[in-house]
Structure 1
Amino acid sequence: MSAAQPASSPDVPTVEQVDTRYLEGLLGYNARRAALAVIDVFVERMSPYGLRPVDFSVLSLIRHNPGITSRQLCASLGILPPNLVGLVNNLEKRELIQRQPHPRDRRAVGLHLTPAGAALTEAAEKTAAELESDAAGRLSPAELKTLIRLLKKVYL
């Protein structure tokens, strides 16, 4: 005996083509869709380095700001201090970063890349640059610059 098919009713709407116009007019929707398109590939390409997006961001900031403090990292990345502690500890266990006394503040500790951390971060940044080029392939250099400037206006 076959399963009964529900009778079609002319009053029940069907969707032939999905109308996404409302969502496509929202900043958050578009930002999230763009981020997902980039982040999925980023995660895949960073896996050989054993880096998550936040790990990459921390290492990159340390590379370009030797001696940066945890407080400065938190402020720059919007990370809560308790969340950064484990991340920094993990990077230190991997011997990618080291803590050194801050030259002006006895209470603070500066973060520095180890030679292994510097090599890994440099390679990961090259991979990230290639990814950015691939992800922005449909944009002209001027469009990409404008997009980044506009996105910064939202969160800065």
Structure 2
Amino acid sequence: MPAHQPVGTSTTKATPARGKRAPKDAGQQETAPAAEVFAVDQVNASFLESLLGYNARRASLSLVGVFVKCMEGFDLKIVEFSLLSLVGGNPGITSRQLCQQLDVLPPNMVGMIEVMTRRGFLERRPHPRDGRAMGLYLTEAGRALVDQAEPQLKASESAAVSHLSVEEQQQLLNLLQKLYR
């Protein structure tokens, strides 16, 4: 034991148990631990903004909002409109082809086709080359809906990206398609 240390004391400090304070030495003032407090005036998202996924998600949220708002007027979900648009552009398309193009599971596609058929937008006809398959076609009501909805959606989306030049819009479209094709 060192000569300058009083008898009965130790040179090591005991760590207090959780929630308890160590007893204070004589003459030492009790002080609360200094907690650092910060106020954020400007958010630093530089790491997140360096990630493609984060930026794609933010852009998607912005544009999906435009899509959803436009489709509300037609009482359609995005995937329902996408289905009708694909059938309109590809008369006779099969449900299997729709599943592949929209990345939708077959049981979900069957349900969607049934709903669109009940609403009077789609009809099934025998496929000309595959006796087991049915081709899908727009009804007159379906054609009218697609003919009205497509230009409205295009105009809404164009307004949402109007701060980009035509070249930037095309470049963005090409780059996004490269990610999933």
TM-score under structure 2 length normalisation: 0.79
Residue number in structure 2 paired with 1:12 = 37
* 8 A contact 2:66–2:157 mirrored in 1: no
Residue number in structure 2 paired with 1:131 = 156
Unaligned runs of 5+ in 2: 1-31
% identical aligned pairs: 50
1:95 pairs with 2:88: no
Structure 1 segment 115-126 matched on structure 2, within 5 A: 115-126=140-151
Unaligned runs of 5+ in 1: 1-6
Kindly indicate which of the two structures has a greater share of residues assigned to helix. 1
For residues 56-102 of structure 1, the C-alpha deviation after alignment (integer angstroms, 9 at most, x for no partner) is 11000000000000000011111111111111100000010000000
* 8 A contact 2:87–2:137 mirrored in 1: yes
Q: Give, as a single letter, the amino acid of the residue that structure 2 aligns with 1:126.
A: P
The structure 1 segments of at least 4 consecutive aligned residues displaced by more than 3 Å after TM superposition are none
> 2:84 pairs with 59, 64, 71, which one?
59
1:110 pairs with 2:135: yes
CA RMSD between the two structures: 1.6
Residue number in structure 1 paired with 2:68 = 43
Question: What secondary structure sits across from 1:112 in the alignment?
Answer: strand
1:144 pairs with 2:144: no
Task: Note the C-alpha offset of 1:41.
Answer: 2.1
TM-score under structure 1 length normalisation: 0.91
Task: Note the C-alpha offset of 1:47.
Answer: 1.0
- Distance between the aligned counterparts of 1:44 and 1:132, measured in 2? 11
Question: What secondary structure sits across from 2:120 in the alignment?
Answer: coil
Task: Note the C-alpha offset of 1:13.
Answer: 3.5
Q: Give, as a single letter, the amino acid of the residue that structure 2 aligns with 1:47.
A: E
1:84 pairs with 2:109: yes
For residues 99-155 of structure 1, the C-alpha deviation after alignment (integer angstroms, 9 at most, x for no partner) is 000001001100000000000011010111111211110111110110011011111
- Distance between the aligned counterparts of 2:156 and 2:57, measured in 1? 18
Deviates more, 1:21-30 or 1:106-115: 21-30
Question: What secondary structure sits across from 1:49 in the alignment?
Answer: coil
